[in-house]
Structure 1
């Protein structure tokens, strides 16, 4: 398709430079038009811009002409418009704020762009980990001083958080683990029936819930319920400058806000995990009674025979550690809230996701550690 515009420069050796523009100077050709107008460097005693041949112009074209005039004028070569129709002259004159800067698309290869995104993500996570390690150090120092009596333990705040984390979650945790116990028992019985070994369903229920499923699923539920609440509460306080107000009156936000939540979440997760395990075992016993004709007394006796005390102890050891992680991640992301309410939502989501991820990672580390010690 033929060009609908043209730019003709006078010979370079002319004393006065001259450029004649013609046709339609519109947004469709702005990049090529700007290249044509910047191809000539300012030189000589003056520049005449002939607009006699211009038949159509929009704001982009006017920007290009105005940019040409300003570039030459700023270089010490006066530029003037000639032969411009009144409407063209008026439009160009209205755009004398600053010269045109054409934005060209960066034609970076997809592979380089992909590497760039990975690099930015890694750098961001590195900064996040560094900040988290610093926050962890502050919490551990204040927690240690609190335990030895050098800092005040806010008992009422701990009780309030314990009620929010533990007591209010009894219903949902009990229902979840009860259903999980039913599912584990049903699926285990279906598979073991093929070998005539339905009695080993009790082994599956006992060991899987007391050592892994009961504690892990309880931690995931608390992370989604209380970890998100911690991040949202502290994030909202930061947006409302309440945390700055605490510092102004001489109170440490770590002591006032973080330590009660950490202590309450660690203790309550221990209790919730025990409660959830009992609910799962009860569900498994009901299924064994209804489907396997195993009386409750025989079920309890079989559980005592096949479920090792080490399994129960390992599960209870993991629970407060998971509670500490959940509270720490929720508070950390709450303190990281900046800007506006949208940041509260993103930090809350990040707190839940990272809490669950770190809990699962630590669960795997516990599994390898206790297996190494011989508690299989």
Structure 2
């Protein structure tokens, strides 16, 4: 059988003939990779010695052709003003001219890199590009939030459309599974705040105010901020990676073909899971942070747990706890929106996925810190 196939193949040949001023190149047989290498030097000589407008290729005797053969023949006409013109071809072939055109397009010389200005102008240009990109990202994030909000309203009108199974599963993976790391880290944050407060306040004979410092710092700021940053690094990246991998494998396109809305199937459950679980995780972070501060106070200042809790209850207003808890749902919403938006913008390659995951985490942490600063200024103006 192998011998029969070999006999069906036609040996590659190359001849030339003169027709007036025209030089006609006649490729014959099968111009495939393993057979055409020997014609490279000869074709280069023909190309260099002949006026480009006089080159003609006769395709009538050409058999099979692959990209290697198409490259050699197409290169011969590369110096012509119109290499795809009918004036440069004789005879017909089913695929030769199309393949030669595609090879020319893919092997076209890349334009030289634009020389960018340096110094102050370059610095200002980069700053301007950064500001423009930041404004664009902000507008796109608000647009994505608006689309998610309208999707939520439409689902609220028909509750049976809600994906409760996936929502509960995401609450477990994004919330319950994050509880140990958030509690442990908040415990040490509370311990560090108490230790620094004890070292500083003890020199003024006011070590008892360490309780107030731990209570206000953990309940008002550190508990919710540590929770949001860990969610941004843990859950936000997983949202982007999960949705992005589905985008790469064209699963989201398949959803659209089936009549399913990706915002309803993928985005809304993640948003609800983050908004619901963020306050619960913040509460656990507050408890762990206060517990860590209490242990350090007991160890370094000999403040008993009973006295610590009593003073905490007497001196720390409930408003500090409510301020911290009021931020948690907002942070959860921002983290979910950023993660899902970048997941849906992943391209078709792994590099795009990695770039989007990194950008998603950075933007989520940046947004959390900026919003926390806005909350701080707002509550300061409201004297809360």
What TM-score, normalized to structure 1?
0.72
Corresponding residue SS for 2:197 = helix
Q: Closer, same or farther in 2 for the Cα pair 1:353/1:107, shift >3 Å?
A: closer
2:295 matched to 1:286?
A: yes
2:346 match: secondary structure: coil
Match of residue 254, structure 2, among 245, 253, 263: 245
Tell me whether 1:232 sits opposite 2:241 in the alignment.
Answer: yes
**Alignment partner of 1:198 out of 207, 217, 225:** 207
Q: Which residue of 1 aligns with 2:285?
A: 276
Matches within 5 A, 1:146-185: 146-149=155-158, 152-185=161-194
What per-residue deviation string (whole Å, max 9, x for no partner) do you get for residues 64-104 of structure 1? x959965xx69xxxxxxxxxxxxxxxxxxx97543498977
Matched, 1:343 2:328: no
* Map of 1:257 onto structure 2: 266
Which of 211, 215, 220 pairs up with 2:229? 220
Distance 2:253 2:75 in 1: 46
RMSD, aligned CA: 2.8
Separation (CA, whole Å) in 2 of partners of 1:68 and 1:118: 53
Alignment correspondent of 1:82: none
Structure 1 residue 109 and structure 2 residue 117: aligned?
Answer: yes
Do residues 187 (structure 1) and 167 (structure 2) align?
A: no
1:184 shift after superposition: 0.6
Contact 2:148/2:263 (<8 A) preserved: yes
User: Which segments of 5 or more consecutive residues in structure 2 lack a partner in the other structure?
Assistant: 1-40, 55-73, 81-108
What is the DSSP-based 3-state SS (H/G/I as helix, E as strand, rest coil) of the residue aligned with 1:364? helix
Aligned equivalent of 1:98, options 51, 64, 78: 78
Rounded Cα–Cα distance in structure 2 between residues aligned with 1:105 and 1:261:
43
Deviations 1:293-315 (A, max 9, x none): 11111100110122110000111
Q: TM-score, normalised by structure 2?
A: 0.71
Match of 1:338, SS state, is coil
Aligned positions, number: 295
Q: Secondary structure at the match of 1:206?
A: helix
| 1:104–1:334 CA distance, 2 compared to 1 (3 A) | closer
Please report how far the alpha carbon of residue 185 of structure 1 lies from its aligned counterpart in structure 2 after TM superposition: 0.5
Q: Secondary structure at the match of 1:334?
A: helix
Rounded to whole Å, the distance in 2 between the matches of 1:197 and 1:183 is 18
Q: Distance in 2 between matches of 1:283 and 1:108?
A: 54
> Equivalent residue for 1:315?
324
Distance 1:149 1:109 in 2: 57
| Inter-CA distance 108–248: structure 2 relative to 1 (3 Å threshold) | closer
For residue 132 of structure 1, the aligned residue among 118, 123, 141 is 141
- On the 8 A contact 2:186/2:223 being kept in 1, the answer is yes
State the shift of 1:149 in Å: 3.6
Against the structure 1 CA distance between its residues 374 and 151, is the aligned structure 2 distance closer, same or farther, given a 3 Å change threshold?
Answer: farther
How far the C-alpha of 1:144 sits from its partner, in A, is 2.2
Match of 2:305 among 288, 296, 311: 296
Query: 2:301 & 2:113 partners in 1: Cα distance?
Result: 70
Give the whole-Å Cα distance in 1 for the aligned partners of 2:311 and 2:110. 79
Q: Deviations over 1:266-292 (max 9, x none)?
A: 111100000010001011111111111
* Alignment match, 1:16: none
CA contact (8 A) 2:247 2:348 kept: no
Paired residues of 1:174 and 1:275 also in contact (CA < 8 A): yes
| Equivalent-residue separation in structure 1 for 2:351 and 2:257 (angstroms) | 26
SS at match of 1:267: helix
